[in-house]
Amino acid sequence: MAPATFARVGEQSAVVAQPADEQQRQAALQALLACPTFSIHCTDRRPGELKAAQESFPLPIPGCPGVYHTGFAAEASFGATAYFIRRPQGNILVDVPRWTPLLAQRLAALGGVRWIFLTHRDDVGDHAAWAAHFGAQRIIHRLEASRRQGTDQCEVQLEGEGPWTLPEKSSSSSNQMPVSSSSSNSSSGDADAAPDVQLLFTPGHTAGCVSLLFQPHGGVLFTGDHLAYSQRLERLTIFRAYNWHSVAQQLDSVARLRQLPFLTVLPGHGRRAQFGSAQEREQQLASLLAAEGWHGSG
């Protein structure tokens, strides 16, 4: 956030320039609020300035109508970015920010949260607090659920390799399962499935990573720690040094994304990517696979 003020210096983030105008001041204060370790300080704050920055969240993401950056990253989630999707069939929180009552009020004003989708075990943070506040159903792959993190209590635990879609209609059942698009039993299936969201099994970073494809507006892929843009490399990356399961499997998962309809990548860590065309997306993914020495069949 606030790239005019903050940048990476060596292995850390640092202030590289003071804000030059009001827009940069607000962006810097937004970064202060989003910082998971409370490492940013302001010595000349003006009256009402911090409140205005607080009330600016969640931040709309340019080019992605209905999609927001929540801010307020949690140290317990290693500073991962969480996102909010506003949709008629029920709003979705993708991973979770740190529990913040003011942010909860802001999300409630946008219609609340029906689903909390947890991409994988690293970025679950304050999931229980958010779920309790909104009465939301949490979704995680069973391979990622653990007693230590409390994710063994998630209402929906995916099994197998999907893909899965979310039910379009509300249900009185607290453990209503997403519909598996690959299931042979379609009697309860695709007719009741919301067509705008797919949950995609993308293992590799961990054994049970799942990404979310939100298909309106050119397609937005929420990748957790599976895939991101690297400013240093100037290309997409898988962050090989932080792979906890299988690099080969992660690259296979990337390869399966090549023909999917998305033009935006929103990761938990790393930079977002926005492509001008499907051809550019395919070229970027192919460049990543070539740079990482992928030799699979995809």
Closest CA to 195 of 209, 179, 211: 179
CATH 3.60.15.10 given to domain 202-298: yes
pLDDT for 184 equals 34
Spatial separation of the C-alpha atoms in residues 248 and 245, rounded to whole Å: 9
Domain ranges of the chain: 23-38+57-159, 202-298
Q: What is the pLDDT along the chain (298 residues), one digit of tens a residue?
A: 666 666 667 766 766 677 777 777 777 777 777 676 656 777 777 777 777 777 777 999 999 999 999 988 877 777 789 999 999 999 999 999 999 999 999 999 999 999 999 999 988 989 999 999 999 999 999 999 999 999 999 999 999 999 999 987 655 454 566 776 654 333 334 556 668 999 999 999 999 999 999 998 889 999 999 999 998 899 999 999 999 999 999 999 999 999 899 999 999 999 999 999 999 999 999 999 999 999 875 4
**Pairing mode of beta strands 228-230, 273-274:** unpaired
The token pair at 212 is 């979310």
Query: Contact, 226 vs 243, CB < 8 A?
Result: no
The pTM of the full predicted model, rounded to 2 decimals, is: 0.84
Spatial separation of the C-alpha atoms in residues 241 and 247, rounded to whole Å: 9
Domains 23-38+57-159 and 202-298 share a fold: yes
Neighbours of 155 (CB within 10 A): 17
Tokens 């009001």 -> residue: 22
The CATH topology of domain 23-38+57-159 is: Metallo-beta-lactamase; Chain A (3.60.15)
Q: In one letter, which amino acid is 186? A: S
